[in-house]
Homo-oligomer: A and B are copies of this chain.
Amino acid sequence: MPSKPLGVWLIGAGGGVATTVLVGVEALKAGLTAHSGLVTDLEPFHGLDLAGLDDLVFGGHEVRQIDCLRAAKELRNAAGFLSSEMLAAAQPALEATSSRLRPGILCGSSGIVEGFADLPGVSRGPSLRAMSDRVVSDLRAFQSSTDARTVVVVNLASTEPAGPFPPEAATREGFERLLDADRRPDVTASMLYAYAAISCGFPFVNFTPAWGAAVPGIDQLARERGVPHCGRDGKTGETLVKSVLAPLFLARNLKVLAWTGHNLLGNRDGQVLEDPSAKAAKVADKDAVLRSILRDDDAHTHVRIDYVPSLDDWKTAWDFIQFQGFLDTRMSLQFIWQGCDSVLAAPLVLDLVRLANLAQRRGEAGPMLHAACFFKHPIGVEEHDFSRQFAQLSRYAEQARRSHEDTKARRDTRKPLGA
């Protein structure tokens, strides 16, 4: 076990998911909760040299005036899943993390996010380069002050408005020319964060519907620097169920006529999605999963997202699926999902931190294709069928375990020689 900690830098460190990550790690360390929800605690990952929860040290960017402890108290009141015992156990860590927060950057964000951003020092300029440089220096300062052996950067900021990336960003050189030309708002905050992280050699996990390192020019940088990255848009709830159910219809040759999903959610996520361009980004990600699996342009699919403030962090989704079977008979399946987004997302964030760190130690660079099952829109992967994505992850884990054991065996073999 390495003696230096693994740094985890959370963009959006005061949000619901980040808060749940921070409290969750402490609750787990204190034995206040079972390990449910952590994929990397499952059997296929045993025997892999994954970072321990004791091993993590946190910092992050935020654009709102909020410290981690207050965020935890607000989340507790709103969503009810954090107990007072958990909060008590997490208080020292929350305070320590608060002391490591830095003002984030705003660039191409939705108006609603602009409205939230009340933290003095939030950067809106003066130039793209200046903003990117500031992120780099924040990350380096975090690593140095915590003596972290390396850092994983995780984007948990709000949804960015939809839109194509600028064509110049297709190569690293092109993207850097956009930075130099200060081409705003074509370059968005998520791209700057990704560029800065990868420039530092830090893996980038993009859990948000935003471009981040999915821009080819930034991905090219990652490959050049030997940095793994993954994203985008965590697959946590309704879309997860969709990606499990849709293959069934294909496998039984049942023609999906209509699939409509209605998502009700509260909290800041819901508010941000009231912005039409942000909603468009999210809906596109959610719908694309289905269209990709069904491979059928006739199927009438649509996704609705509505803001229902009183739901707080709890999402309720209703999906109605009408399909045609033998003798053209129409039948239906409906499902109702009632989940807590932060609770669903937080353990996956921890899983991805561990997997990104493992990938880097294994010398992998570019998109982490084996992490597709975690995302609505996996970078570089066309497969959306969850069970196949998970089989892919399990095969990766098996392979990593075997090569880890080989290495250990070789090392053990050599040792006597060296002894």
For residue A156, give the distance in angstroms from its CB to the closest CB of chain B. 15
Contact B308 A325 (CB under 8 A): no
A35: B residues at CB distance < 8 A = 253
Contact with B along A228-249 (1 / 0, CB 8 A): 0000000000001100110110
A300: B residues at CB distance < 8 A = 308-310
Contact B331 A310 (CB under 8 A): no
A325: B residues at CB distance < 8 A = 36-37, 339-340, 343-344, 347
Contact A37 B254 (CB under 8 A): yes
Contact A336 B338 (CB under 8 A): no
| Chain B residue at minimum C-beta to C-beta distance from A299 | B310
For residue A282, give the distance in angstroms from its CB to the closest CB of chain B. 16
A9: B residues at CB distance < 8 A = none
For residue A50, give the distance in angstroms from its CB to the closest CB of chain B. 14
| Chain B residue at minimum C-beta to C-beta distance from A326 | B37
A-B pairs, top 9 by smallest CB distance, nearest first, are A37-B326, A387-B387, A257-B310, A335-B335, A331-B339, A37-B325, A81-B329, A334-B336, A326-B347
Q: Could you tell me how many residues of chain A have their Cβ less than 8 Å away from some Cβ of chain B?
A: 74
| Contact with A252, one of B39, B247, B311 (Cβ below 8 angstroms) | B39
A333: B residues at CB distance < 8 A = 241, 335-338
Instruction: Report whether over half of chain A's contact residues are helix, strand or loop; otherwise say mixed.
Output: mixed
Is A304 on the interface with B (CB-CB < 8 A)? yes
Task: Using known A-B contacts A257-B310, A390-B251, determine if residue A38 contacts B327 with beta carbons closer than 8 Å.
Answer: no
Q: How far is the CA of A23 from the CA of B326 in the complex (A)?
A: 11
| Chain B residue at minimum C-beta to C-beta distance from A348 | B252
Q: 12 A-B residue contacts at CB 8 Å?
A: A24-B326, A34-B255, A36-B326, A36-B328, A42-B250, A258-B309, A258-B311, A260-B308, A302-B306, A318-B318, A329-B343, A331-B338
A36: B residues at CB distance < 8 A = 253-255, 324-326, 328
8 Å CB contacts to B: which residues of A1-55?
Answer: 20, 23-24, 27, 33-39, 41-42
Contacts beyond the supplied A36-B253, A240-B252, A260-B306: 18 A-B pairs with Cβ under 8 Å: A24-B326, A24-B327, A27-B327, A33-B326, A36-B254, A80-B80, A251-B373, A251-B386, A257-B310, A258-B310, A262-B262, A300-B309, A304-B306, A308-B320, A310-B330, A325-B340, A326-B343, A387-B388
Q: How far is the CA of A387 from the CA of B246 in the complex (A)?
A: 11
Is A199 on the interface with B (CB-CB < 8 A)? no
Q: How far is the CA of A42 from the CA of B255 in the complex (A)?
A: 12
For residue A396, give the distance in angstroms from its CB to the closest CB of chain B. 14
8 Å CB contacts to B: which residues of A249-282?
Answer: 250-255, 257-258, 260, 262, 264
| Contact with A248, one of B81, B240, B334, B340 (Cβ below 8 angstroms) | B240
